[in-house]
Amino acid sequence: MSPTTSGTGRPQTPTRRLLRAGFADLTRSATLWQDAELQRRLPADAGGDDGVLQALGVTADPDLALLHLVRLASVPAAQQTVERLLAADQRSGEGVARGRLMAVLGASTALADEIVRRPALLDVLGDGDGGLGADPRDVRAELLRAVGADPESADPVAALEPEGADAPGWPDRDAPTATDALRRAYRERLLRIAATDLTAPDPSATLPDVGAALADLAAGALEAALAVARSQIPDHGAGARLAVIGMGKTGGRELNYVSDVDVVYVCEPATDEAGEPVLDESAAMRIGTQLATRLQKVCGGTSLEPALWEVDAALRPEGKQGPLVRTLASHVAYYERWAQTWEFQALLKARPVAGDAALGAAYREAVDPFVWAAANRDHFVEDAQAMRRRVEAHVPNAEADRQIKLGKGGLRDVEFTVQLLQLVHGRTDDAIHDGNTLAGLSALAAGGYVGREHALRMGACYRFLRSLEHRVQLFGLKRTHLLPTEDEDLRRLARSLGMRGQGAEDLRQRWRATRREVRALHEAVFYRPLLPAWAQLSEDELSLAPDAARARFAAIGYRDPDGAMRHVVALTEGTSRRAKLQRQLLPVMLGWFAEGSDPDAGLLDFRKLSENLGATPWYLRLLRDSGNAAYHLAHLLSSSRYLAEALARSPESVQWLADTSRLEPRGPERLAAEADAVLTRADDPGPAATRLRALRRRELARTGAGEVLGVLGPVQAQAAISDAADMVVVGGLRVAEFAARDQMGLGPDPAANPTRMLVVAMGRLGGREMGYGSDADVLFVHDPLPDADPEQAKAFAELTARTLQKLLSAVGPEPPLPVDADLRPEGRQGPLVRTMASYTEYYERWASVWEQQALLRARPVAGATGTAVDLAERFDAVVDPLRYPPGGLAEPKLREVRRIKARVESERLPRGTDPSRHLKLGRGGVSDVEWTVQLLQLQHAHEVPGLRTTETVAALAAAEGAGLVEAEEAECLLDAWLLASRLRSALVLWSGKVGGLRADVLPADAWALTGLARLLGDVDTGQELEELYLRTARRARTVMERLVYGDD
């Protein structure tokens, strides 16, 4: 290339010319351009504006195209044609052929290799057959002729393979076998399609034709492969009729360049003139199996020419375990009895593509009713949700950013949405049965099931993603659905998609934007039409007819579609700003409610909440502006009665949902400060206590929401609930002392108290392991001031304790926290309050082993702690020798613990309760684990300081650390304790019921179990949850029996 002068008068260096033409790798391409063989083929004006350089420049990857052109120029058999094409005028027929060649060279290394290997293919690019829009019958005939079979025959048979290379009648001299002949003919046609596709002005517009042409080509190849298979077996398999049914993209006539071809085979014995079968069924099935096996080998087996694709028959009844071919009756029997919902979804795309046409048609007719009745099957909703989860299942992290097909917003997502809508509405409307995704989508729009605008946009996204996938596959003719990472690859893709002048980054952005739009459209397409007509956002929005809306509500899991429609109407009615905001919000929320265990209740509660808060300016704005808040709200309302009620009670809590950090526990200090502020303002005990209880209610709701939304783990949640209880007890004591002073006429000053009080938390409060419905177990201790009248001190202490109990347990608007002092010395017979001295004496003289055990949970919580005279310290000093006995537990005491445990098991369990299902007292339940841990504490806390804790989890960890339990045993115990604790919480959260007979029993009915399973999220179904709990508890029980009872 010598410097010339362009129109602008600036000298054109070779590099500049390459740059202007669109080349990127300038140095290398400049060298390639100078290749001697190429230069010999080039016409005089090759570097000109109209010339070869420009023709290369418009391809997807000019550098790549040039490289392949240089390779081609050195192949002797190609040189003549190449020279002719390069010299052609751009506007002539030859010029078009040149453009097609360049486009292929610049976009597909695999096809370029093929042309270099078979230069005769150059003629294919110029013979005027563009491959698209061909009659499927002609394609079939072409491929049959390629294997020497007669296209006119009903059961064409391929010619027998010749002995020598040019035996007469053998169609392809270069193919030693019929298999190779077929593959060569297939590639020829593939090249035509690719060349047309790559030179199309708008790839997205051409996409449906390309998919159809590829599917027809695959169908023709299957037909020809069947002809080859027939030629290989005795009698050409005349005894059997075999139909090949295309499934998946083949069936939908929307195939990729490279993908497995999904098929199903139907086989029947052939019949004679009288209509009698000529063979018995099993003989016919053997022949059918032989034909199918050989057909698959012709397409996908090893031979001289590369394989076409795998023929995949895994969608057949029973999958890979099932027989390869079946009779029609056997297919039908399977679909009647065994098939799963997803199999009917797959059948939606079934289309006869090769073999016996009449049998194929009979198959389609026979399976059709199953497909369109699938939405009526039991469990359709659950199945559809499970299928959706599989579609959305996150792809491996390494691929998440590159997957075109899978994951949210991928191709599968679009296909699934279309198919699900077809299944739901196709039952009553035959017009929407098309197995092709784009055709199905148009039909759904035409039938009034999807808004036209939405359908158009979804179609456009689909076309873009498919075109992208096609281009990625074309490059190496590899089955891949991953976007490449290298910039140069992305640049090529961008240019081949008509995004000329845009680079890698633009493509990445458009791809991401498309995925986002698919997601958004999914909501819009599925849920928006559920809103009534007047509530639509614009004129062209669609509203479903009542029957269709009912079907769709039912299909997504609403048990009372009419009720749901009423709520939707009520929420969106009117012209207020509120109604307008609801119209934007509601569609997506309808979908979210459907993910919970009770969508109907969720929607109803949302309506109530919205009616309550409608006038509040922040409410709807928050839901609209924070995606999190709306999602969280929908989730809580549809899966937890407890929280639905809590939110109805204090609607302002909805504000937390926008920002999960507000769901984290406030921590003891902030709670204490808040309680302090409340009490400092108060001057009347009753209302003050009510305010404290309200604070606790708020914290319970916060903790519940945090637990359901996964912000808090079970141990954190228990600690948060316990902190709130601590706060109420501390504040309550202050109020009670105030009231006692008032009643005894001692005046307002705390300094006038005749004694110092200490409240010691016991049980779950002591262990900081409270649930939503736990009582507060306590001991009351007091210590009279040295100069006080002992009687007055006692009276004051008792009055204070009783007042505290009354204030916190009294019936009132806020939830009570019953304060239970039954663990005190002598139980209910003993005095409610004792002095420190009395405790000391009692414990020294009378303490029984169960009291020692109970004291393991003792934690001073309120009163004179941290002061100059620290009662807490003194109390601990009294009880430590009891709960952490020096030298461990003597044999008689150990026996006593075991005996009590055995008695408790038989006596405390409520009558008629299955011991394996009682979460607290049952086998392997909370109590089994805690006894085990507490026994270890009694035995070893004197030597293992870590065991001196009131908390079960911490003690268990310490025991494991000290080698007192095996790691495996500790894990069994911890698993069981955590699961039982979570189930107890979940029972309250799900049912909204605190306490009651069933509060600690794993429910037996499926509805409740499913609700709990959704709330916990470990397993999918209620049955699995039940199985999980029973198993976990059984294992813990075994460990408990070993460690507590000493069983082997």
Partner 1 sequence: MDRQQEFVLRTVEERDIRFIRLWFTDVLGVLKSVAVAPAELEQAFVEGIGFDGSAIEGLTRVYEADMIAKPDPTTFQVLPWRGERHGTGRMFCDLLTPEGEPSRADSRNVLKRTLAKAGDKGFTFYTHPEVEFYLFNQMGSSDGPLVPVDEGGYFDHLARGSTHDFRRAAISMLESMGISVEFSHHEAGPGQNEIDLRYADALTTADNLMTFRTVVKEVALEQGVFASFMPKPFADKPGSGMHTHMSLFEEDSNAFHEPGAQFELSKTGRQFIAGLLVHAGEITAVTNQHVNSYKRLWGGSEAPSYICWGHNNRSALVRVPMYKPGKGNSSRIEYRALDSAANPYLAFAVLLAAGMKGIEEGYELPEATEDDVWELTGAERRALGIAPLPESLDEAIELMESSELVAETLGEHVFDYVLKNKRNEWDAYRAQVTPYELKTSLQFL
Orientation angle between helical segments 281-300 and 203-231, nearest 10 degrees: 130
Residue with token string 């020294």: 844
DSSP summary character for residue 661: G
Q: Which is nearer to partner 1, 846 or 1007 (CB)?
A: 1007
CA distances from 931 to 845, 847, 921 (A): 24, 18, 11
Q: Which is nearer to partner 1, 393 or 1006 (CB)?
A: 1006
Among 201, 912, 963, 1046, binds partner 1 (CB under 8 A): 912
Token couple for 1038: 């075994």
Among 916, 954, 999, 1019, binds partner 1 (CB under 8 A): 916
Rounded to whole angstroms, how far apart are CA atoms 469 and 618?
45
Among 135, 163, 336, 907, binds partner 1 (CB under 8 A): 336
CB of 143 to partner 1, least distance (A): 30
Rounded to whole angstroms, how far apart are CA atoms 538 and 527?
15
> Of the ranges 568-576, 764-772, 868-876, 1000-1008, which one interacts with partner 1 (CB under 8 A)?
1000-1008
Distance of alpha carbon 529 from the chain centroid: 24
CB of 1022 to partner 1, least distance (A): 8
DSSP three-state, residue 479: coil
User: For residue 511, which amino acid is it?
Assistant: W
Rounded to whole angstroms, how far apart are CA atoms 799 and 793?
10
> Of the ranges 48-56, 599-607, 628-636, 1021-1029, which one interacts with partner 1 (CB under 8 A)?
1021-1029
Distance of alpha carbon 862 from the chain centroid: 47
Q: Which is nearer to partner 1, 539 or 1005 (CB)?
A: 1005
> Of the ranges 202-210, 485-493, 867-875, 911-919, which one interacts with partner 1 (CB under 8 A)?
911-919
Among 446, 533, 810, 1006, binds partner 1 (CB under 8 A): 1006
Rounded to whole angstroms, how far apart are CA atoms 194 and 477?
11
Q: Is 537 in the site for partner 1 (CB under 8 A)?
A: no
Among 618, 846, 1007, 1045, binds partner 1 (CB under 8 A): 1007
Among 276, 749, 891, 1005, binds partner 1 (CB under 8 A): 1005
DSSP 906-932: HHHSPTT--GGGBTTTSTTSHHHHHHH
Q: Which is nearer to partner 1, 662 or 1034 (CB)?
A: 1034
**Looking only at residues 371 through 410 of this chain, which bind partner 1 when binding is defined by CB under 8 A?**
378-379
DSSP summary character for residue 784: E
CB of 378 to partner 1, least distance (A): 5
Q: Which is nearer to partner 1, 768 or 918 (CB)?
A: 918
Q: Is 332 in the site for partner 1 (CB under 8 A)?
A: yes
Token couple for 669: 């200090």
CB of 914 to partner 1, least distance (A): 6
The pattern of x and - marking residues 302 through 321 that bind partner 1 according to CB under 8 A reads ------------------xx
Between CA 479 and CA 489, with CA 484 as vertex, the angle to 5 degrees is: 110
Q: Is 716 in the site for partner 1 (CB under 8 A)?
A: no
Q: Which is nearer to partner 1, 379 or 500 (CB)?
A: 379
Number of H helices, E strands in the chain: 45, 12
CB of 1004 to partner 1, least distance (A): 5
Detail the DSSP E strand segments found in 787-916: 819-820, 833-835, 859-863
**Looking only at residues 239 through 268 of this chain, which bind partner 1 when binding is defined by CB under 8 A?**
none
CB of 333 to partner 1, least distance (A): 7
Q: Which is nearer to partner 1, 210 or 973 (CB)?
A: 973
Among 49, 1004, 1017, 1018, binds partner 1 (CB under 8 A): 1004
CB of 284 to partner 1, least distance (A): 17
DSSP summary character for residue 537: S
Among 775, 748, 751, 749, which residue's Cα sits nearest to residue 763? 775
CA distances from 482 to 273, 437, 485, 489, 706 (A): 54, 21, 9, 12, 37
Rounded to whole angstroms, how far apart are CA atoms 452 and 444?
9
Token couple for 459: 């179609």
Among 592, 586, 543, 588, which residue's Cα sits nearest to residue 567? 586
Q: Which is nearer to partner 1, 890 or 1004 (CB)?
A: 1004
> Of the ranges 203-211, 235-243, 681-689, 1025-1033, which one interacts with partner 1 (CB under 8 A)?
1025-1033
Q: Which is nearer to partner 1, 617 or 912 (CB)?
A: 912
Rounded to whole angstroms, how far apart are CA atoms 624 and 640?
22
Q: Which is nearer to partner 1, 321 or 397 (CB)?
A: 321
Rounded to whole angstroms, how far apart are CA atoms 404 and 191?
24
> Of the ranges 244-252, 333-341, 390-398, 487-495, which one interacts with partner 1 (CB under 8 A)?
333-341
Q: Which is nearer to partner 1, 166 or 378 (CB)?
A: 378
Q: Which is nearer to partner 1, 645 or 914 (CB)?
A: 914
**Looking only at residues 486 through 515 of this chain, which bind partner 1 when binding is defined by CB under 8 A?**
none
Q: Is 911 in the site for partner 1 (CB under 8 A)?
A: no
CB of 326 to partner 1, least distance (A): 14
Cβ contact 392:413 at 8 Å:
yes
Q: Which is nearer to partner 1, 262 or 1026 (CB)?
A: 1026
Token couple for 814: 């806020």
Size of the site for partner 1 (CB under 8 A): 22
Buried b / exposed e along 850-869 (16+ C-beta atoms within 10 A): ebbbbbbbbbbbbbbbeeee
CB of 1048 to partner 1, least distance (A): 10
Rounded to whole angstroms, how far apart are CA atoms 859 and 760?
5
Q: Which is nearer to partner 1, 297 or 567 (CB)?
A: 297
Q: Is 1027 in the site for partner 1 (CB under 8 A)?
A: yes
Rounded to whole angstroms, how far apart are CA atoms 600 and 707?
22
Token couple for 549: 């809306």
Rounded to whole angstroms, how far apart are CA atoms 792 and 235?
115
> Of the ranges 142-150, 209-217, 847-855, 908-916, which one interacts with partner 1 (CB under 8 A)?
908-916
Q: Which is nearer to partner 1, 469 or 1026 (CB)?
A: 1026
Mention every residue, 6+ apart, whose C-beta is less than 8 A from residue 641: 601, 989, 990, 991, 992, 993
Q: Which is nearer to partner 1, 256 or 1032 (CB)?
A: 1032
Among 345, 406, 353, which residue's Cα sits nearest to residue 380? 345
The pattern of x and - marking residues 858 through 897 that bind partner 1 according to CB under 8 A reads ----------------------------------------
Q: Which is nearer to partner 1, 332 or 904 (CB)?
A: 332
Mention every residue, 6+ apart, whose C-beta is less than 8 A from residue 36: none
Among 914, 943, 968, 1018, binds partner 1 (CB under 8 A): 914
**Looking only at residues 1028 through 1047 of this chain, which bind partner 1 when binding is defined by CB under 8 A?**
1030-1031, 1034, 1038
CB of 1035 to partner 1, least distance (A): 8
Beta-carbon-side half-sphere exposure of residue 718 (alpha carbons within 13 Å): 24
Q: Is 1026 in the site for partner 1 (CB under 8 A)?
A: yes
Rounded to whole angstroms, how far apart are CA atoms 972 and 983?
16
Among 77, 278, 333, 446, binds partner 1 (CB under 8 A): 333
What percent helix, strand, coil does the chain show, rounded to 5? 65, 5, 30
Q: Which is nearer to partner 1, 649 or 1031 (CB)?
A: 1031
Q: Is 160 in the site for partner 1 (CB under 8 A)?
A: no
Orientation angle between helical segments 836-846 and 871-883, nearest 10 degrees: 0
Cβ contact 663:702 at 8 Å:
yes
Query: Which residues contact partner 1 by CB under 8 A?
Result: 320-321, 332-333, 336-337, 378-379, 912, 914, 916, 1004-1007, 1023, 1026-1027, 1030-1031, 1034, 1038
